[in-house]
Amino acid sequence: MKNDHNKHVSYRIGKLPYKLRSILNYYIRECLQVNPNKYIGAEQYLICFNVYCFIHQGSGKFNGATLLYSGKWIGVVFGNKPYLSPLLYEEIYRDIGEYRAAIMVGEKGVKNFLYGNDILPASIVREYDPINTIVAVIDEKDHSVIGVAKPIGAHKRIYRNIYDIGLFLRAWS
């Protein structure tokens, strides 16, 4: 039996590097066609637990203790690339009243995606331009954003799972 008492979680905190902030700003402005300042503010912070890095608003000290995380969840960083959080996509879509840079997926596709798999063309119910970029994955049943994917393949009709909300359960269970 594996001894789980010896697991060590390392963390690091700091400001989100300018390059990553610029990538987020560009994506929000050009692909989602909204003002990034309204949604992510002027300063973003990064908190990493082992290899999992989260972008958020707010950091600093609280009664002498280091504040690891506060404010709004803006996104994640994987492979030195930032991606928006499902919560931020939902906020933007609610404000603009439409979907952009998104794909809507049927029930079977949702289940497969939440297990870390890619999305095949048969699972896609609807696409919302631009789709040749990073897209939000939307559950057809309740219209919630369940993760982020990118088009791959010759015809770009398969979407690679970058991350989904099931990742956090799989990572720390």
Task: Give the tens place of pLDDT for each residue, 76-94.
Answer: 998 889 999 999 999 999 9
What domains, with CATH codes, occur in the chain?
Answer: 1-98 (no CATH), 99-173 (2.30.130.10)
∠ CA 141-152-172, rounded to 5°: 60
pTM of the model: 0.86
166 three-class SS:
coil
Pairing mode of beta strands 81-84, 11-15:
unpaired
Q: What is the pLDDT of residue 2?
A: 46
Specify the 3-state DSSP secondary structure of 156: coil
Confidence of residue 172 (pLDDT cuts 50, 70, 90): low
The mean pLDDT value for 152-163 works out to: 87
pLDDT at position 61? 46
- Cβ pair 88, 73 in contact under 8 A: yes
The 10s digit of each residue's pLDDT in 95-144 is 999 999 999 999 999 999 999 999 999 999 999 999 999 999 999 999 99
Spatial contact of 141 and 110, defined as CB atoms under 8 Å apart: yes
In Å, the largest CA–CA distance within the chain is 55
pLDDT at 150 over 80: yes
Name the 3-class secondary structure at 111. helix
Left if phi > 0, otherwise alpha if psi is -120 to 50, otherwise beta: which for 22? alpha
Residue 61: strand pairing partners: 66
**Model pLDDT, residue 157:** 85
- Whether residue 146 has pLDDT greater than 80: yes
Using the structure block, give the residue that is written with the tokens 């066609």.
Answer: 33
For 26-64, how does the pLDDT look when each residue is reduced to its tens digit (9 = 90+)?
A: 999 999 999 999 999 878 888 887 778 889 887 554 445
Q: Give the model's pLDDT for residue 57.
A: 84
Of residues 76, 75, 110, 78, the one with CA closest to residue 89: 75
Band the pLDDT of 3: cuts 50, 70, 90: very low
Q: What is the pLDDT of residues 63-74, one digit of tens each?
A: 454 555 557 889
Rounded CA gap, 162 and 37, in Å? 25
